[in-house]
Chains A and B, each alone.
Chain A
Amino acid sequence: MSAPALLEVNVLKKHYKLNSGFFGGARGFVYALDGVSFTLSKGETLSVVGESGCGKSTLGKTILRLVEPTDGEIWLDGTRIDNLKSGQLRQMRRRVQVVFQDPFSSLNPRQKVRDIIAEPIINFGLASGSELDDRVAALMDKVRLPRDAMMRFPHEFSGGQRQRIGIARALAPGADLIICDEAVSALDVSVKAQIVNLLSDLQDELGLALLFISHDLAIVEHLTHRVAVMYLGKIVELADRETLFSAPHHPYTRALLSAVPVPDPSIKRERVMLKGDVPSPINPPSGCRFHTRCPFVMDRCRTEEPVLRPVGPAGQVSACHLDAA
């Protein structure tokens, strides 16, 4: 990608303190994010994939500043946003919006659809009066919701329709970047496809950048430009879609890909089976964090932590000692 980066994340860390109880002394830390770096350009989709607990959602929330980063830098369009104070932070929020996973808890049950979509517009003073109504109506058309839904409450809608309301809310302030935190994971397959298509249509039209957090590789392959694979708070591989799905480098990526179901029982595949569970992010393994489950583990992996290095064409990077010099 040669376009200038809209979002740049540099060695971002988020360590949650484990409180031991009454006096609040730290018993240790959960290393939810441990040095994550990537860039995202205008109009691009970057998917973040990984098992549950690997820090995907924390990454999204940290960029949104719903969670304060422990260390590292976040740049949005040339402005550093990880240390903004409340006033400037609010202005930043206009440009970065979010669509959450659960379409049932992400909408206030006591607000009408109109008020939900209008809230960010009013917050940023973007419109009022009849202009506000026009704008809400236009957003509802945009996400293909009927206009007579405006005066209804969220519980009167299906999951897919609710997710459309959530998307309309995210579009409302005219954001450049939308973080989709498992935005389609809670939906039925057919609805999932509709929402994914809606998202990519909107991206094409509005030039939105999407940070698409997901564990569903089939969906990711359908809509993304680039993919970042996370494992225990770190990005282990980052590549464009074609490269990652055809020539994955990191053993973890290969294992993930081999776990994607293929709808043809006659195809024999070589499954890379992983042993054991994800280690605890409280005490991550030394060296390469994946060494406890890696089928190709070497002595070097246990002591030396691999860094992201170029391994293929088109900017494929991977953090693995395998066939390294």
Chain B
Amino acid sequence: MSSWLFAQYPEAPALADVLPPRKARGKVAMFIHRYPTIVIGGVLLALVLGMAIFAPFLWTVDPTALAPAKRTRPPSELYWFGTDMLGRDIYSRVIFGTRVSLMVGFAVAALSSVVGLFIGLCAGFIRWLDTVVMRVMDGLMSIPSILLAIAFMALLGASVQNVVIAISIAEIPRVARLVRGVVLSLREQAYVEAAIASGTRVPLIIWRHILPNTLAPMIVQATFICASAMLAEATLSFIGAGTPPTIPSWGNIMAEGRALWQVKPFIVFFPAVFLSLTVLAVNLLGDGLRDALDPRLAKRI
């Protein structure tokens, strides 16, 4: 049957007039030009990440060292961000607190994305499972996520690992629901039917046609989850149901500074600024990624 395939056809003329070749520009310059939000968010996040990794080398002292004689000092050359009511250096605490926030944010985003993706794919592809699983997810979603996290923390006890688990459980239904919705709309797409008609097996259809098109909304959702997990961690720590007070985290610092915030606002101010900037960076990155990952939205080509 393949005899017709060869030779008798001349090559069609090139597309030159219709699609002009892309202009050559410096790769880095082009990337910054096309995706400014990714660059800004990415750079900010990289800075925060660097802070977390190199915390001991950033002119910090032991963040847990008590110095009762030097309580609630305002910011100065010696104590850049001041000291808290136990005399601990807030600068060091904030820098070390970055570790907890980022770890919780990334771990929750990864865990809830993977589990939610799996549940969503199953629900979207297996009809009888759909009703059961999604009703359970709806049930979980009807409980305010922070309350759910508090309940789990009360059950599991305070540790960073348990914070991750507790927040993840609250976030999984959101991912699962998103993925299921995307899968349901994708499997009705003509190109999925065409793939079935051309003999593609189901695992490959999921891998090649469903997953890549699920990824863009997933990544946006993951960055949102990452940001909200950091906030949730801070909230849990703030109300004393999160990271144990021995580990410096932004939520803990703010919780401890709460009583004094009218007279010594800097105790709350610095961790709050870092938290806000980090959340902003993650959100900017997610927003930029959504544009970059959608080939149809590739505007300035």
Are the CB atoms of B9 and A142 closer together than 8 Å? yes
Given A105-B190, A149-B15, CB of A141 within 8 Å of CB of B200: no
B194 touches A169 (CB 8 A): yes
Smallest CB separation, B155 vs chain A (Å): 32
Contacts of B9 in A (CB 8 A): 138, 141-142
User: Which residues of chain A (195-216) have a CB below 8 Å from chain B?
Assistant: 205-206
3 pairs of A and B residues whose beta carbons are closest in the complex: A120-B198, A106-B190, A141-B9
Measured in the bound complex, the distance between the Cα atoms of B14 and A64 in whole Å is 35
Q: What's the nearest-Cβ distance from chain B to residue A163, in Å?
A: 12
B2, B19, B198, B209: which contacts A123 (Cβ < 8 A)? B198
Residues of A within 8 A of B15 (CB): 146, 148-149
Tell me if A145 counts as interface (CB < 8 A to partner B).
Answer: yes
Partner of A105, one of B10, B191, B198: B191
Number of interface residues of B (CB under 8 A): 31
Name which of A28-36, A88-96, A289-297, A299-307 contacts chain B: A88-96
Given the contacts A145-B12, A146-B15, A153-B295, A108 and B213 also touching, CB distance less than 8 Å = yes
A-B contact pairs, 27 of them (CB 8 A): A61-B193, A64-B193, A64-B197, A90-B201, A93-B196, A97-B197, A98-B197, A100-B193, A105-B191, A108-B195, A110-B213, A119-B195, A119-B198, A123-B200, A123-B201, A135-B5, A145-B12, A146-B11, A146-B13, A146-B14, A152-B19, A155-B296, A172-B198, A173-B199, A174-B1, A174-B2, A206-B4
B276 within 8 A of partner (CB):
no
Which of A9-62 touch B at CB < 8 Å? Answer: 61
Q: Taking CB as reference atom, which chain A residue is nearest B189? A: A105
The number of residue pairs between A and B whose CB atoms lie closer than 8 Å in the complex comes to 100
Min CB–CB distance B90 → chain A (angstroms): 47
Check if A107 sits within 8 Å of B191, measured CB to CB.
yes
Does chain B have a CB within 8 A of A233? no
Name the one of A98, A110, A141, A166 contacting B212, with C-beta atoms under 8 angstroms: A110
Instruction: Beyond A90-B199, A119-B195, A141-B12, list 8 extra A-B contacts (CB 8 Å).
Output: A66-B193, A66-B196, A98-B197, A108-B209, A119-B200, A120-B200, A147-B14, A149-B15
Q: Name the contact of B295 in the complex, choosing from A123, A148, A155 (C-beta under 8 A).
A: A155
Residue of B nearest to A104 (CB): B190
Counting CB contacts under 8 A, is A227 at the interface?
no
Residue-wise, chain A 98-137 has the 8 Å CB interface mask toward B (1 for contact) of 1011100111111100000001100110000000001100
Asked whether A140 is an interface residue with its Cβ less than 8 Å from the other chain, the reply is yes
Query: Which B residues between 187 and 229 are near A, CB-CB below 8 angstroms?
Result: 189-191, 193-201, 208-209, 212-213
Contacts of A270 in B (CB 8 A): none
- How many chain A residues touch the partner (CB < 8 A)? 47
Q: Does A156 contact B (CB under 8 A)?
A: yes
Residue of B nearest to A134 (CB): B6
CB distance from A249 to the nearest CB of B (A): 35
Name the distance in Å between B291's Cβ and chain A's nearest Cβ: 14
Contact residues in A for B295 (Cβ distance below 8 Å): 109-110, 153, 155
Q: Report yes or no: A66 in contact with B11, Cβ–Cβ below 8 A.
A: no
In the bound complex, residues from chain A placing their C-beta under 8 Å from that of B189 are: 105
A144 at the interface (CB under 8 A from B): yes
- CA of A109 to CA of B191, assembled, Å: 9
* Docked CA distance A273–B9 (Å): 48
The reply to whether A98 and B19 contact each other, CB–CB distance below 8 Å, is no
CA distance A302 to B197 in the complex (A): 40
Per a CB cutoff under 8 Å, which of B11, B191, B199 touches A124? B199
A93-B197 contact in complex given A135-B2, A138-B6, A156-B19, C-beta closer than 8 Å: yes
Cross-chain contact A148 with B14 (CB below 8 angstroms): yes
A147 to B15 CA separation, bound complex (whole angstroms)? 9
Complex contacts, A229 vs chain B, CB 8 Å: none
List the B side residues contacting A173 at CB < 8 Å: 198-199
Whether B296 and A109, one on each chain, are in contact in the complex, defined by CB atoms closer than 8 angstroms, is yes
B296 / chain A contacts, CB cutoff of 8 Å: 109, 155
How many Å lie between the Cα of A156 and that of B301 in the bound state? 11
- Tell me if A76 is interfacial: C-beta within 8 Å of chain B: no
Bound-state CA distance A106–B197 (Å) is: 12
Q: Which residue in chain A gives the minimum CB-CB distance to B198?
A: A120
**Complex contact B197–A66 (CB within 8 A):** yes
The smallest beta-carbon distance between A105 and chain B, in angstroms, is 5
List the A residue with the shortest CB-CB distance to B194. A106
Q: Does A139 contact B (CB under 8 A)?
A: yes
**Contact of A139 with B193 in the complex, beta carbons under 8 Å:** no
A100 near B4 (CB under 8 angstroms)? no
Q: Which residues of the partner chain A approach B11 to less than 8 Å between Cβ atoms?
A: 141, 146-147
Residues of B within 8 A of A146 (CB): 11-15
Cβ–Cβ < 8 Å partners of A140 in chain B: 12
A302 to B196, CA, bound (A): 42
